[in-house]
Amino acid sequence: MLATLRHRLRENFVRWAVRVRTPEPSPIVLTQRRVYVLPTLAGLSYGTALIVILLGAMNYNLSLGHALVFLLAGLGIVAILHTFRNMALMEISPGRCDPVFAGGTAQFALVMENRRPDPRTSLSIFVDADNPVEIDIGAQASTVALLPVPTRQRGWLQVPRITIETTWPLGLVRAWSYVVPDLACLVYPTPAAKAPPLPWSSDTARGISRDGRGADDFSGMRDHQAADSPRHIAWKSVARQHDGPLLTKLFSGATAQQVWLDWDALPEAMDVELRLSILARWMLDADAAGHAWGLRIPGTHLAPDNGTGQLTAGLRALALFTHGSR
């Protein structure tokens, strides 16, 4: 009960502290009203020690004791000012986040800009307090901070609330702020570890009259990949180099193969997420083998093609697939 109340109070404070509707428009400026300062445990100990020294100096009427207390107190006040200025008026803009497969780690990029003539030192940025990213920003310069966030399911992943803090220069006080930039990462479904072979059939494994990797004219070699046919391995090259890598021969011509990756080719009782995982695996295997492939899923139809653009379009369609797409 107490933990729930503490969590609720903390969330209410964070919503008040952000001060705008989330996600925030860019650029995000940490104005003075958005930077909060509290003493650290070291700062509390420092203050307690000053009180003890002051009481001793008063008790024994020690002029040097008073001077020491006032000197250390002044040092603490200056430290508060510098810690606050290390955060105030910094600008944050969302960068980019490359798509990842579910189960991987999304790398959210934040562009941190310092328009002041002096550097900002020892800034800590994190979503999870156990994995902070430490950065410094030079005078009138900018830097990019990459925040790792684990992914669990496909679709759009909005960057969670980000905390920026610093205890520079003496560690006596902590200045912090919260930001929620408008930044999202596309998460692809996890490719199935074990999937049926590519669904070749008389309708899908047919020639197409376009340049591609076929079986007519030799066009070069590349490193062997697991999905490559053993017939295309350059065995003569392997025989000449006992310890050399396996190479696959590439061909161009009019007999490059194409395959349809069809939602209905999988068992009707199969779970939706498992279907998407198998389709993702088929896409990667077909792309690695150089085959042109097309995609048929409810609500989406991709004509046969190959290359990075086709693979990106297919994985995006799987990532954003909804159960009611039929």
The tens digit of pLDDT for each residue in 53-100 reads 999 999 998 999 999 999 999 999 999 999 999 999 999 999 999 999
Range of the domain at 102: 10-188
Do 142 and 221 lie in a common domain?
no
Structural domain count of the chain: 2
Judged by DSSP in three states, 325 sits in: coil
Do 176 and 271 lie in a common domain?
no
Residue 274 lies in a domain: yes
Pinpoint the alpha helices (H) of the chain. 2-18, 41-60, 63-85, 235-240, 272-289, 308-319
Do 211 and 129 lie in a common domain?
no
Do 174 and 234 lie in a common domain?
no
Q: Which residue, 297, 279, 259, is CA-closest to 195?
A: 279
Phi/psi of residue 302, nearest 5 degrees: -110, 125
Least confident of 77-81, 120-124, 224-228: 224-228
pLDDT by residue (tens digit) across 197-212? 888 764 444 444 444 4
Residue 5 lies in a domain: no
Residue 210 lies in a domain: yes
Give residue 17's pLDDT.
65
- Tokens at residue 44, please? 């509390």
Residue 325 lies in a domain: no
Q: Which is higher by pLDDT, 15 or 115?
A: 115
Sequence letter at residue 156: W
Do 65 and 157 lie in a common domain?
yes
Phi/psi of residue 228, nearest 5 degrees: -70, 145
